[in-house]
Copies of this chain bind each other. A is one copy, B any other.
Amino acid sequence: MGKVNLRDKLALFDELWSPKIVGQVGEMHLKLVKVKGEFEWHSHANEDELFYVVQGRMTLHFRDRDVILEPGEFITVPKGVEHKPEAEEETHLLVIEPVGTVNTGDNEGSVRTVEPEWI
C-alpha cells in the first residue's frame, strides 16, 4: 500500500496506445496511457470507462458529436457507447475502468489490442 506519483510513472515508458496499470480501487484499475494520432472505433459491452487528461489534449469522437478534453478534465463513456480517441499532439491519459477491460473493447483481437501490465 504505497503512494503513486503520476509523473514518475509516466517517465517509465514511451509506448503509445499501451495502457499501464498504476493502481486499483475496488474492482477498478487506474491505467496511464500515452496517445498520439487516432485509435479505432470501439465500445465496451459491459464496462464504463473514464478518461482523464493529465497532459495534452484529446478529442473523443462519438457517433453524434466530439468532446475535447484538456488537462484536468474527464468524461465517463458509459458501457455500450461507441467512441474513438484522437490526439494531435502526444497526450497523457489516466483511464479508470474495471479490472480486465480490453483496450479495444468489442474488437478484442484487433492489431491494436494489448494486454496491460503493472508498472
Interface residues of A in 74-106 (CB under 8 A from B): 74-78, 81, 96-98
**Chain B residues with Cβ under 8 A from A77's Cβ?**
1
User: Which of B26, B30, B74, B96 touches A47 (beta carbons < 8 Å)?
Assistant: B26
Interface residues of A in 2-36 (CB under 8 A from B): 2-7, 23-28, 30
Task: Please report the C-alpha to C-alpha distance between residue A69 and residue B2 in the assembled complex, in whole angstroms.
Answer: 11
Stoichiometry (number of copies): 2
Task: Please report the C-alpha to C-alpha distance between residue A27 and residue B28 in the assembled complex, in whole angstroms.
Answer: 9
Total contacting residues, chain A, CB less than 8 A: 32
User: Which of B23, B67, B73, B75 touches A76 (beta carbons < 8 Å)?
Assistant: B23
User: Which of B4, B24, B28, B67 touches A25 (beta carbons < 8 Å)?
Assistant: B28
Quick one: which of A26, A47, A72, A97 has the most chain B CB within 10 A? A26
Q: Is the CB of B3 within 8 A of A25?
A: no
Q: What is the CB-to-nearest-CB distance from A98 to chain B, in angstroms, rounded to a whole number? A: 6
Task: Please report the C-alpha to C-alpha distance between residue A6 and residue B54 in the assembled complex, in whole angstroms.
Answer: 12
User: Which of B6, B27, B73, B96 touches A72 (beta carbons < 8 Å)?
Assistant: B6
